[in-house]
Amino acid sequence: MNAPLVSLDKLSVHYPLGRKLLGPSPVLKAIDEVSLDIPKGSFFGLVGESGSGKTTLGRAILRAAPISGGHATYRDGEVDYDLATLPKDKLRDFRKRAQLIFQDPYAALSPRMTVRDIIAEPLEVMGITRTRQETDKRVREIAAKCRLNLEHLRRFPHAFSGGQRQRISIARALVCGPKFIVADESVAALDVSIQADILNLLKSLQHDLDLTFLFISHDLSVVAHVCDYVAVMYLGSIVEVSPTRELFRQPKHPYTRALLSAIPSLDPDDTGKAQRLPGEMPSPANPPSGCRFHTRCPVAQDRCRQDVPHLQDATGDARVSCHFWRENLPA
Amino acid sequence: MTTPLISVKDLTIRFRTDEGLITAVEDVSFDIAPGEVLGLVGESGSGKSVTAKALMQLNAGNTAYDPASRIVLNLPDQEPLDVLALKRERDMIQVRGGAISMIFQEPMASFAPAITIGDQMIEQLMLHSDMNKKRAREISIEMLDRVGISEPAKRIDQYAFEFSGGMRQRAMIAMALSTNPKLLIADEPTTALDVTIQAQVIDLMKDLVSDFGMGILFITHDLGVIAQTADRVAVMYLGRIVETGPVRQVIGNPSHPYTQGLLQALPRLDDLDAPLVPVAGDIPSPLERPPGCVFHTRCDRVIKGICNIQVPGRTLVEEGHTARCFDLTKTSEVA
């Protein structure tokens, strides 16, 4: 494993939920004490269902969501930032190094700007280029890498299909030369035939530009194909982190197992393995005691209702947050 | 062969717009038998929802159905009913919500926010039957219980926002089935749900088909969901059905280049090393519908001078499995 580019230590994001006259104010724990290392140069997957906190975690790392506790550090060899306490001038520099690609390519691009202006905007806002010629050169270079030609640059976003728009969003995120990219559900809005094209593009850009990706997705099949490591989130905490192959070969957390078996198989006869989770994810405003998954866990025991499990080393370089992972591995 | 429940023949749907007539669906034909699940797969803009809405005449006012289009509904002990010939709203009521029910993708948008779930269920039951309110309420509670909503007698007086996403979709299914429809149209019913909830809803729908014996038109873009639910599948691209057949055959032995492309582009969990091969190019705008085979602009097996001029007929691949492609020369043409 390479040295971590981003390292999280008990990172928390809590949102206050109103105020009570007596006693402590209620809080919504969107992210609760997450510790995680994202190795430099990796394609790091973050999966979970809606409400698990995966988007909030990505935003907290980019300082777009408030960090309420713990530490997040960013080290790319040139700079060493403590993200929770980063002063404003350093934050400006960090924004050049870490960028976000959004989910919906229809909402992310201004309909009143040409593609050239959309891609050039970060350069102008951050004052990276001085002259128009310099800006144009950078825009053309990155556009070519994202397979957009000069003709495309003169048009407005409405003239483009979903896949082409996502390539524009990618060019815009990459134009300032970042090292770290958070891709939040960046292929979720695309049709299958286009999705493969964008995934292949992201992988080749990662290779060419030496990028580190945090790839947030709800689609385990996509993650299985593009990511080197996968972290699985449930209700604001990480239940399992593992090299991708290991996670799919032998999922160790009961939630990961249920998640994998819920993916509908392409083989119509393959229905028997499905392991169904009862109920739905509880509210993060009122999470269960002990292990947060115990209300839906098929193998929960008394201890799970009281003791909070922490990530512990398991076999195959995996880390899992379950008291009984060893006992519950399928034979 | 038994009489199909619904028979769609040569359905062509155009929309009148400021830019002229736009063809959304062209020459679509399929049958659904009682107790059969037909999966309709396609990407955005392929015309699958427009096709489904045509079965209940739910398309907007600017819709023009081609005069040759036929949708015939065969209800038990009734004369065959030509759905497209029904012009008055009150004639449609026996079809809409009566013989045919529909569930939609976004359950939050499908329930009125300021009316309780129960009142919405009771209203439609009373509209489609001669039950009194008390009986309609009993039936509604029974249906909510049947789809696995706990404490249905209490839940029935709640509003849609008090239900979670999975529960809303269950309530939607309960409501659609309470009038005992013969055909259920499910338009992307699991797309907005998380995988663990999607699995619950798929299981529920399978149970209901075997219990109630209705036919289902199941629309989705997800081939995995189709494989788990459908008996037969029809693959749509730009308003045409390019391939149709039993689900095992179409997924196991795809014959149209588009179906093959879709399957190659799909990340599969059974082979993590397989490269993801995108289907080249983009879906053409409906304003620039390609002549000839609609897929020829993106096809790697295109035959110049044929595919871009003539519309391919249906070629028999196997028993009950056909594809519209000129490259499938090895077998004989049907229809």
* Confidence at residue A59, expressed as pLDDT on a 0 to 100 scale: 94
Q: Please give the average per-residue pLDDT across A219-232, as a whole number.
A: 94
Q: A42 to chain B nearest CA, in Å? A: 17
Provide the CB-side half-sphere exposure for B314 (13 A, CA).
19
Percentage above 70 pLDDT, chain A: 98
| Residue B276 in contact with partner chain A when CB distance is under 8 A | yes
* Confidence at residue B26, expressed as pLDDT on a 0 to 100 scale: 94
Radius of gyration over every alpha carbon of chain A, rounded to an integer in angstroms: 21
* Confidence at residue B332, expressed as pLDDT on a 0 to 100 scale: 44
Q: Please give the average per-residue pLDDT across A52-58, as a whole number.
A: 93
Percentage above 70 pLDDT, chain B: 98
Dist. CA B25–CA B264, nearest whole Å:
25
**CB pair distance less than 8 Å for B164 and A280:** yes
* Confidence at residue A272, expressed as pLDDT on a 0 to 100 scale: 55
Q: Phi then psi for A278, rounded to 5 degrees?
A: -75, 155
**A216: which strand partners?**
A46, A184
Token code pair at residue A235:
């209700």
* Confidence at residue B273, expressed as pLDDT on a 0 to 100 scale: 84
**CB pair distance less than 8 Å for A191 and B43:** yes
**B103: which strand partners?**
B186
* Confidence at residue B334, expressed as pLDDT on a 0 to 100 scale: 45
Q: Please give the average per-residue pLDDT across B175-186, as a whole number.
A: 91
Residues of A in contact with B197 (CB under 8 A): 49, 280
**CB pair distance less than 8 Å for A222 and B283:** no
Give the model confidence (pLDDT) of B260-271 as tens digits.
999 999 998 888
| Residue B150 in contact with partner chain A when CB distance is under 8 A | no
Buried b (16+ CB within 10 A) or exposed e, A107-131: ebbeeeeebbebbbbbbeeeeebee
* Confidence at residue A331, expressed as pLDDT on a 0 to 100 scale: 67
Q: Please give the average per-residue pLDDT across A166-170, as a whole number.
A: 95
Q: B254 to chain A nearest CA, in Å? A: 13
What residue type is assigned to position B142 of the chain?
Answer: E
Q: B217 to chain A nearest CA, in Å? A: 17
Residue A274 binned pLDDT confidence (cut-offs 50, 70, 90): low
* Confidence at residue B331, expressed as pLDDT on a 0 to 100 scale: 44
In the predicted model, what is the mean pLDDT of chain B?
Answer: 89
Give the DSSP H/E element, type plus range, for residue A74. strand A69-75
Pick the residue of A52, A192, A223 with the most B CBs within 10 A to test the interface with B by mutation: A192
| Residue B166 in contact with partner chain A when CB distance is under 8 A | yes
Q: Please give the average per-residue pLDDT across B92-96, as a whole number.
A: 85
Give the model confidence (pLDDT) of A116-147 as tens digits.
999 999 999 999 999 999 999 999 999 999 99
Report yes or no: B189 and B103 within 8 Å, Cβ to Cβ: yes
Indicate the residue of A163, A193, A263 with minimum beta-carbon distance to B224. Answer: A263
Domains belonging to chain A, first-starting first, are 4-234 (3.40.50.300), 252-331 (no CATH)
Buried b (16+ CB within 10 A) or exposed e, A67-104: bbebebbbebeeeebebbebeeeeeeebbbbbbbbbbb
Residues of A in contact with B225 (CB under 8 A): 264
Asked if the model's pLDDT at residue A188 lies above 90, the reply is no
Give the model confidence (pLDDT) of B284-330 as tens digits.
887 888 999 999 999 988 998 899 999 999 999 999 999 999 988 54
In the predicted model, what is the mean pLDDT of chain A?
Answer: 91
* Confidence at residue A294, expressed as pLDDT on a 0 to 100 scale: 94
Q: For residue B14, which of B86, B71, B72, B66 has the smallest C-alpha distance? A: B66
Asked if the model's pLDDT at residue A39 lies above 80, the reply is yes
| Total count of residues recorded for chain A | 331
**CB pair distance less than 8 Å for A262 and B196:** yes
Pick the residue of A195, A215, A266 with the most B CBs within 10 A to test the interface with B by mutation: A266
- ipTM of the prediction greater than 0.90, yes or no: no
**CB pair distance less than 8 Å for B269 and A197:** no
Token code pair at residue B245:
């057949």
**B39: which strand partners?**
B218, B233
Q: Please give the average per-residue pLDDT across A275-291, as a whole number.
A: 85
**C-alpha B198: how far from chain center:** 17
Question: Lowest-pLDDT range, A74-83, B62-71, B138-147, B208-217?
Answer: B208-217
Report yes or no: A314 and A320 within 8 Å, Cβ to Cβ: yes
Dist. CA B190–CA B198, nearest whole Å:
5
Provide the 3-class DSSP secondary structure of residue A329: coil
Q: Which whole-number Å values give the CA distances from B55 to A159, A305, A325, in the listed order?
A: 33, 51, 51
Give the model confidence (pLDDT) of B190-245 as tens digits.
887 888 888 888 888 888 888 888 899 999 988 999 999 999 999 999 999 999 99
* Confidence at residue B335, expressed as pLDDT on a 0 to 100 scale: 40
Residue A22 binned pLDDT confidence (cut-offs 50, 70, 90): confident
Token code pair at residue A223:
């993650």
* Confidence at residue B210, expressed as pLDDT on a 0 to 100 scale: 82
For chain B, give the secondary structure using H, E and C.
Answer: CCCCCEEEEEEEEEEEECCEEEEEEEEEEEEECCCCEEEEECCCCCCHHHHHHHCCCCCCCCEEECCCCEEEECCCCCCCEEHHHCCCHHHHCCCECCCEEEECCCHHHHCCCCCCHHHHHHHHHHHHCCCCHHHHHHHHHHHHHHCCCCCHHHHCCCCHHHCCHHHHHHHHHHHHHHCCCCEEEEECCCCCCCHHHHHHHHHHHHHHHHHHCCEEEEEECCHHHHHHHCCEEEEEECCEEEEEEEHHHHHHCCCCHHHHHHHHHCCCCCCCCCCCCCCCCCCCCHHHCCCCCCCHHHCCCCCCCCCCCCCCCEEEEECCEEECCCCCCCCCEEC
Asked if the model's pLDDT at residue A273 lies above 60, the reply is no
